A and B are shown apart, each in its own frame.
Chain A
Amino acid sequence: MLERVLNQVRDMSRRAVVSPVTFSLLFAFALAAAIVAVTGGDPLAAGGEMFTGAVTGSGLRNTLGRSVPIIGMALAVSIAFRSGIINLGGEGQMVIGGLAGTIVAIYVPGPGYVIVPLAMLAGAVVGAVWGLLPAYGQTWLRLPILITSLLLNYVARAITGYLVRFQLLDDAVTLTSTRQVPETARMPKMPIFGGVSLSLILVIVLVALLWMVYTRSVAGYESQMTGFNMRSARYGGIDVEQRTVQVMVVAGAIGGLIGTHLIIGEALRFIDGELVLAGFAWTGLLVSLLAVNRPIPIFITGMFFSALQIGGLAMQRNAGVSWRLSQVLQAVVIVAVACRLAIRRGERPSTEVSDAESAAVGEV
Chain B
Amino acid sequence: MFEQIFDAALFDSATRAMIPILLAALGGMICERAGVFQIALEGIMLAGAFAAVAGSYLAISWTLGVVFGIAAGMLISLALAYGCVTRRGDPIVLGIALNLLAMGLTGFLLPQLFDVRGVFQHPRIDGLDRIAIPILSDIPWIGPVLFDNTILTYVALLLVPALWVFLFRTPVGLRLRGVGERPLAAETLGVSPTVYKYGAVLASGALAGLAGAQLSLGNVVQFAENMSSGRGWVAVVAVMLGRAHPVGVLAAAALFALAEALGFRFQGNGLPVQITDALPFVVTLLALIIARKRFARLLDLTTAA
Contact = CB atoms under 8 A, between A and B. Distances in A.
Interface of A: 35, 39-41, 84-86, 88, 137-138, 141-148, 150-152, 154-155, 157-159, 161-162, 165-166, 227-231, 272, 279, 282, 285-286, 289, 321-322, 324-328, 330-332, 334-335, 338-345, 361-364
A334 B90 CA distance: 11
B111 to A, nearest CB: 5
Nearest to B112: A39
Contacts of A138: 299, 303
Given A143-B292, A151-B237, A364-B90, A335 B108 contact: no
Contact of A84 (B93, B108, B303): B303
B169 interface: no
Contact of A143 (B96, B112, B295): B295
Contacts of B105: 35, 324, 328
B288 interface: yes
Given A230-B303, A327-B107, A328-B104, A285 B96 contact: yes
Contacts, number: 176
A173 B289 CA distance: 41
B285 A151 contact: yes
Contacts of A340: 87
Nearest to B281: A154
B304 interface: yes
B97 to A, nearest CB: 4
Contact of A344 (B88, B240, B281): B88
Given A282-B100, A325-B108, A150 B303 contact: no
Given A147-B240, A152-B285, A322-B107, 8 more contacts: A142-B293, A143-B289, A148-B288, A161-B274, A324-B104, A325-B108, A342-B89, A362-B90
Contacts of B103: 279, 327
B284 to A, nearest CB: 6
B62 interface: no
Contacts of A166: 272
Contacts of B104: 324-328, 330-331
A272 B273 CA distance: 12
A229 B305 contact: yes
Contacts of B82: 339
Contacts of A345: 90
B305 A141 contact: no
Interface in B263-305: 272, 274-275, 277-278, 281-282, 284-285, 288-289, 292-293, 295-296, 298-299, 302-305
Contact of A286 (B100, B112, B296): B100
Contacts of A230: 303-305
A147 B236 contact: yes
Contacts of B113: 39
A151 B292 contact: no
Contacts of B100: 279, 282, 286, 327, 330-331, 334
Nearest to B88: A342
A321 B112 contact: yes
B274 A158 contact: yes
A128 B89 CA distance: 31
A146 B295 CA distance: 12
A12 B48 CA distance: 43
A228 B303 CA distance: 10
B87 to A, nearest CB: 4
A362 B113 CA distance: 35
20 contacts: A39-B109, A84-B303, A84-B305, A142-B292, A144-B298, A146-B302, A154-B277, A154-B278, A158-B274, A159-B278, A165-B272, A165-B274, A279-B100, A324-B104, A324-B107, A328-B105, A331-B101, A335-B94, A339-B82, A342-B83
A169 to B, nearest CB: 12
List 8 tightest A-B contacts by C-beta distance, closest first.
A327-B104, A158-B278, A161-B274, A84-B304, A331-B101, A342-B89, A324-B108, A324-B107
A85 B305 CA distance: 11
B98 interface: yes
Contacts of A286: 97, 100
Contacts of A338: 83, 87, 89-90, 93-94, 97
B230 interface: yes
A86 B92 CA distance: 9
B96 A88 contact: yes
Contacts of B93: 289, 334, 338, 361-364
A27 to B, nearest CB: 12
A345 B183 CA distance: 15
B94 A147 contact: no
B179 to A, nearest CB: 17
A312 to B, nearest CB: 10
A339 B282 contact: no
B272 to A, nearest CB: 6
Contacts of B89: 338-339, 341-342, 362
Given A143-B289, A158-B274, A332 B101 contact: yes
B97 A335 contact: yes
Nearest to A145: B302
B304 A364 contact: yes
B78 to A, nearest CB: 12
Contact of A335 (B98, B236, B295, B304): B98
B86 to A, nearest CB: 8
Nearest to A230: B305
Nearest to B101: A331
Contacts of B39: 146
B97 A41 contact: no
